[in-house]
Amino acid sequence: MESNRVKKGPERAASRSLFYAMGYLPEELNKPLVGVVNSYNEIIPGHIHLNQIASQVKAGVYAAGGVPFEFNTIGICDGIAMGHYGMKYSLASRELIADSVESMVIAHGFDALVFVTNCDKIVPGMLMASARLNLPSIVISGGPMLAGEYKGKSVDLSNVFEAVGAVKKGNMSEEELQEFELSACPGCGSCAGMFTANSMNCMTEALGIALPGNGTVPAVHAERMRLAKKSGMKIMELVEKGITPDKIMTKEAFRNALTVDMAIGCSTNTILHLPAVANELGIKWDLDEVNEISKSTPQLCLLSPAGPSYVEDLNRVGGIQAVMKELAKNNLLDLNVSTVSGNNLKSLLEIAPQADGEIIRHVSNPQKPEGGIAILFGNLAPEGAVVKQGAVAEEMMEVELKARVFNSEEEASEAILGDKINPGEAVVIRYEGPKGGPGMREMLSPTSSLAGMGLDKEVALITDGRFSGATRGASIGHVSPEAMEKGPLAIVQEGDIVEIDIPGKRLNVRLEEKEIKERFGKLSLPEPKIKSGYLARYAKIVSSAGKGAIME
């Protein structure tokens, strides 16, 4: 056992004495020591209840013969950090989470880990730590929030962001907005649509590193607590059998996860996080593979923000297991992969419910013939850009637009809310990538403002930054190389014609090669926006979005 290095032999007498100081018994130190990595805090609604989840995990660990030790990580609420300086720290916190877990686990010699998580960067940060440490691991999330209700209609957080644009346009009063914001988020859990948090929790299930139901069982359901206890018990079985993350999260498992991603219309942020987790295991795949999988995978679900259904609805009709069972009918999944349940995927899907045909469409009658995400390439994005094609209006799938160029999110938001953006234009926001931001902010405020003002079918937004999973419309992000690395976005000028061809997977600016070279020859990059502290260090070593914004 890994823990023997902190508890066995005469030379570890002082360590044992410290365990006894906390009330542990000598008999307990003969058992496996299980780290319960809890991201509970009082600033994220998805995490406000995680102490209850962790207590059930610990009960399960103890019941199955292990000794649980709980410790915490940080967590940032993307919704609260959105639209201001604080969002620069969100993506960068992913590395802090992975590094802090690594530090705690190596220092204290745990034998296994249960990751109690829920929201945007915390889930991938913990998955990266799990992959890096390669100890028996299982993930249990806090579950999705239920949808809210406003004037008889189901709503969620994305609608609140869009309502800001509606107020600016005069389609909603400030009094109505206040009533709306009190109704949209009815309680604990990760925000109710297929945004980044729920996307990543569904990915843990698709990867096999979490038990069935982890991605979709609502936060307030008793089943969530039972799932936590089962996870605590199951980790002891993984310890006994020596099942580690590298045996679960294989190349085939990542392809399965990408296939599920395409079928349920996940956040574009999964294309940042899955490569980062895979990288920790030495698994490489390029963005062309995303298009390959997307082309062969029908989109079966149309969940908020792309459609009217919510994660609670997906759960009600069988959740991720039912989605995977439907995909398996077209031989789109590798069924031989292992899972933390102790069964391979084939065995799990034999007992999974059938797709209902409405929330989860049948493969013979999908919502859309291709997957929810596409990677675009061209002279504006030589190393790729990402779009949630499943949430793009048909009118914007193939267009030519006039560029409006901004060097920060704030500049663009001011122009949008000031009615300075017109139909037929592309809002280009640069110097917001991993290095240039630094931190690659999500830009839900400008995208939702465009949608709220009714421009999402007439205006595109193109950036080296990224978008919230709550974004809909022709929002193209992760443009790589980013402007701060002298990517082509840095030379785009006001009035240039941008060519978007989502079916053709192309993103170009209409310029002759000679003109492009001349502009690069005159290019002068701006000074770094932050010159001290964590983000300054982060900017020096972070990679482009095309590589998952990993630290190099």
* 432 HSE (CA, 13 A, CB side): 29
Is 464:433 a contact under the CB 8 Å cutoff?
Answer: yes
Active-site hit among 100, 190, 468, 480: 468
CA atoms within 13 A on the CB side of 82: 24
β-sheet with 33-38: strand ranges across: 67-72, 33-38, 112-117, 137-141
To which H or E segment does residue 405 belong?
Answer: strand 398-406
Alpha-carbon distance 501 to 303, whole Å?
24
Q: Are 459 and 423 in contact (CB under 8 A)?
A: yes
Q: Minimal CA–CA distance to 137: which of 247, 273, 6? A: 247
CA angle 528, 521, 427 (to 5 degrees): 60
Active site residue 468: yes
DSSP assignment string, 99-145: HHHHHHHHHHT-SEEEEEE-STTHHHHHHHHHHHH-SSEEEEE--BP
Nearest alpha carbon to residue 206 among 100, 19, 332, 111? 332
Q: Torsions phi, psi of 491, nearest 5?
A: -105, 0
Structure tokens at 412: 């663009």
**Residue 74 near residue 90 (C-beta atoms within 8 A):** no
What phi, psi does 226 have (nearest 5°)?
-65, -40
**Interacting residues of 398 by C-beta distance below 8 A, sequence separation 6+:** 500, 501, 502, 503, 504
What H or E segment, with its residue span, contains residue 238? Answer: helix 222-241
Say how far apart CA 212 and CA 318 lie, in whole Å: 10
Yes or no: say if 391 and 372 are a contact pair by the CB < 8 Å rule. Answer: yes
- Closest to 388 in 3D by CA, of 480, 262, 282: 262
* Three-class DSSP category at 426: strand
Active-site residues: which are they? 468
